[in-house]
Amino acid sequence: MLGATIRAMVMTVLQNLGHWVHLDWALVVVVAWLLIGVAGLFALRRLTLVARLLFPAGGLFGLVLTGIALSAVLGIPETAVLPIGLPGLPFHFRLDALSAFFLLVIGAASAGVSAFAAGYFRKGEGTPPGLLCFEYHVFLASMALVVLADDAYAFMVMWETMALSSYFLVIANHRIPEIRRAGYLYLLVAHIGAIGILLCFGVLQANTGDYTFANMRLQQLTPFWGSAAFLLALFGFGAKAGILPLHIWLPEAHPAAPSPVSALMSGVMLKTAVYGVLRISFDLLQAQLWWWGVVLLAIGLATALFGVVFAAVQVDMKRLLAYSSIENIGLLFTGIGLAVLFSAYGMKPVAALALTAVLYHVASHALFKSLLFLSTGAVLHATRERSLGKLGGLIRYMPWVAWVSLIGVLASAGLPPLGGFVSEWLLLQSFLFTPGLPNSFLNMLIPVVAAMIALLAALAGYTMVKFFGVIFLGQPREAKLSEAHDAGTWERIGMLWLVAGCLALGLLPVQFIQLIDPVTQQLVATGLGDRVAASGWLLVPVTVERASYGPVVFLLGVAASCALAWLLVRRLYHGRLRRAVPWDCGFPWQTARMQDTAEGFGQPIRQIFEPFFRLERELPTPFDEHPRYRVSTGDHFWHWLYLPVAVGVERLARLIGLLQQGRIALYLLYSFLTLIGVLMVVQR
């Protein structure tokens, strides 16, 4: 199947050699990724070849895809039909502004992650390097083909390929039972979500038998069936994105996977679910209902609050980032809900503003979250620790990783002049227009949601202070941390690329919004491109009297303040430098164990939001030789929803197992009774 797919793609490209278009070039990159993966199978245990040649080649083709997507966003839609798959069911592909934008995100993020992976993977980590290379590049190719698919058949094949390849990457170190369990949970939720997506496509084709997206766009569904398709899409794609209560796999799979895989899953794969919601809500469905937006707002806000609160109390650095990803996905769904709400009431310009904020955050989160996961990978390799309680002071031994991580932390916290600030600022600007809604109830409710968004931004900053401070600042909590080494050359190249992306999104918001403009034009028939272009370097989403932001002005102000402080110090205190030990509160015998811990840092959040957690306390007794006090935070959804379902399925399986008696006469009787029942139903 894979070989036939590659051959068909190559033949299509060769036939169009004289008049190549963007879609042809994008498929060339996909074929190149597949060929790199196949080459990894022929170099199964040759780590040097895989790490120094194949992974960098994959990153190079990621750069090529980035360039193709940049050009295709501004072009016209392109289509192709590949004669592969089942008879009468060829694969349809389409490259339009929406798919080109997500190809841009996939290419840009994968370029940095692939370069980092060239210096990250080692021998003896459970899976041979060549096999990891194959799974990794199939994963990249499948994500690209998901956003290019133009029919339900091609989409589902690529969606399942993406799920299976990422599953094998998650269980790369399969010798550990916890990792196998995390992989199984991920695959289970992914397949349950796929059922919802498949049913959604069944509704969208409106009993025509034509599963191409072009046919689905022509169908005029009733409000009932349109709502059914929307809710099925929300369930199916929400399972992949990690919205409540389908988030349970995400904090288990991300820590289990190798760090480059975690970066791709969190930074890129989750965005394919966002792509699916946008494609169905604004492209395949011809109209939106206002209550769809309310549902998205409620689910998104609950997911974001849940994610950030759980992130604040984590003591494992990869689980902290996983819950932070849940928070960011919640923000994205909140923004989509706002866009659906505005679009349903015909407020197209404001819907374009909300969609611009969503797409901006898609790109920003892909870069800074990938950067943070790669930073944790560098720390993990250097220290063999991912528990925050055993880290600290690494800025002395890993200064390069520390300063690069600081950029990702500032972007994740939503601070200027980085991309995370621009996207969250645009989202808040969208909320300021809700008093114009013709629904008085929503006019009262939405400002409360806007206040919650501000609270989420503050809690996200609190969490990132904990992440960076506990890992890199203070004193080392373990003696072995003094042996930590900084990142290697390939790892630095990958992280530098992502840092450059974070800075570019923060310093060039006007140019990037102009790049997003064709996408919003496609989805809601209007955009912000002309408006922001008229304001020059000042970002003005609506009018300059209402709100504006100038990253260059901000940087000039910071630079001027630093220069003034330097001059004042030189003028007033030059030559009077005095070094002394810091104040020790009157207790000079300080140790590393006396500094603030990850548990202590998150304790105020745990107390304020205690109903969110399922707390389990381990209390010491008077007779303990080594008394200890321990508090663990569990997830209510696991005990309220997933465990009861698991118990019910197990009991049902036992009942069905009673049918297996091992006697052929009984099996023939079952077949006979089934046939009689079918005949009775048919006769009726």
Kindly report, residue by residue over 379-400, the tens digit of the pLDDT: 988 888 888 888 888 888 888 9
Distance CA 137, CA 143 (A): 10
- Global confidence as pTM: 0.89
Token code pair at residue 202: 């069944």
More confident residue, 478 or 323: 323
Residue 244, CB-side half-sphere exposure with 13 Å CA sphere: 25
CA dist 534 → 137, 260, 264, 419, 529 (Å):
42, 40, 36, 21, 9
Higher pLDDT: 614 or 129? It is 129
Closest CA to 378 of 328, 318, 327: 318
- Determine phi and psi for 95, rounding to 5 degrees: -115, 105
Q: pLDDT tens, 432-481?
A: 766 667 777 777 777 778 788 888 888 988 889 889 988 888 888 887 88
630: left (phi over 0), alpha (psi -120 to 50) or beta: beta
- 667 vs 311: which has the higher pLDDT: 311
* Paired tokens of 271: 């965005």
Mean pLDDT to the nearest integer, 646-657: 82
Lowest pLDDT segment from 273-277, 521-525, 614-618:
614-618
pLDDT, the chain, mean: 84
Cβ neighbours for 100, distance < 8 A, ≥ 6 positions apart: 22, 69, 72, 73, 75
* pLDDT 10s digits, 653-665: 888 777 776 677 7
pLDDT of 164 reads 93
Confidence of residue 17 (pLDDT cuts 50, 70, 90): very low
The neighbouring-strand residues paired with 56 are: none
Say if residues 494 and 116 touch (Cβ distance below 8 Å).
yes
Which amino acid is it at 589? W
What is the arithmetic mean of pLDDT over 576-601?
71
Please report, rounded to a whole number, the percentage of residues in the chain having pLDDT higher than 70. Answer: 89
Q: What tokens were used for 320?
A: 């902290």
- pLDDT of residue 13 exceeding 50, the answer is no
Mean pLDDT score, 199-214: 89
Please state the φ and ψ torsions of residue 366, each to the nearest 5 degrees.
-60, -35
* pLDDT > 90 fraction of the chain, expressed in percent and rounded: 31
Distance (Å, whole) CA 108 – CA 371: 12
DSSP code of 96? Answer: -
